[in-house]
Amino acid sequence: MAVEVFVALGSNLGDPTKNMQTAIEQLRQLFEGKMRCSSCWRSAPQDMAPQAADFLNAVVAGFTNLTAYGLLKQLQQIEVAMGREQTHGYHDSRIIDLDIITFGDLVSTNKQLIIPHPRAHLRQFVLLPLIELASEMIFPGKNETLQRLLQSAPAMDINIVT
């Protein structure tokens, strides 16, 4: 049975617009039926070197028959195929970053795959595009609306691009 998933995308190296488009096309292959995509948002890098370029961010939604681990593996393969380094650090700039935000109502604290994403509820660059696609969502594990989470998320420099 297909499960609705939300995947966040981010890019700040090379041509972020092209990187996002390429990743979105690759993601379409992982979903059953229609995939929905938020607008792109430009945000200042968080907890990174001062010279790091701004990020483009978006969220896609769709239904998949993959398991959560199967989806994670596919996302990692897309990242590597697009040129992301295997030894990529947490605070490094990136060609593409793909994160599972939610996987149905699954809550997993497994070290290999934490769902929902452990910091998504604190990031406007995830919450704003997510609200575009699922404004009424109650965030799994938080039992709060996205709007409520957005109100308590730390302020940041972010604006809609498309």
**Tens-place pLDDT, residues 111-121:** 889 999 999 99
Q: What angle do CA 95, 104, 46 make, to 5 degrees?
A: 35
Which amino acid type is present at position 23?
A
Tell whether the model's pLDDT for residue 1 goes beyond 90: no
Q: What are the beta bridge partners of residue 139?
A: 144
Task: Give which of 56, 59, 155 is closest to 101, Cα–Cα.
Answer: 59
CA pair distance 99, 82, nearest whole angstrom: 15
Contact call for residues 159 and 133 (beta carbons, < 8 A):
no
What's the farthest any 2 CA atoms get from each other in the chain? 45
What's the CATH number where 52 sits? 3.30.70.560
List the catalytic residue out of 28, 54, 94, 123.
Answer: 94
pLDDT one-digit tens code per residue, 39-71: 999 998 887 777 889 999 999 999 999 999 999
Global pTM reads 0.94
36-40, 41-45, 140-144 — which one is most confidently predicted on average?
36-40
Range(s) of the domain holding residue 77 = 3-160
Tell whether the model's pLDDT for residue 162 goes beyond 60: yes
Q: Among this protein's residues, is 99 annotated catalytic?
A: yes
Query: What total number of domains does the chain contain?
Result: 1
For residue 86, name the pLDDT band (cuts at 50, 70, 90): low
List the catalytic residue out of 15, 42, 54, 99.
Answer: 99
Confidence at residue 133, expressed as pLDDT on a 0 to 100 scale: 97
Computed over every residue of the chain, the mean pLDDT equals 92
List the catalytic residue out of 15, 47, 97, 157.
Answer: 97
- Give whole-number Cα distances, 28 to 58, 111, 158, in Å: 14, 27, 26
Orientation of helix 68-81 relative to helix 16-28, angle to 10°: 140
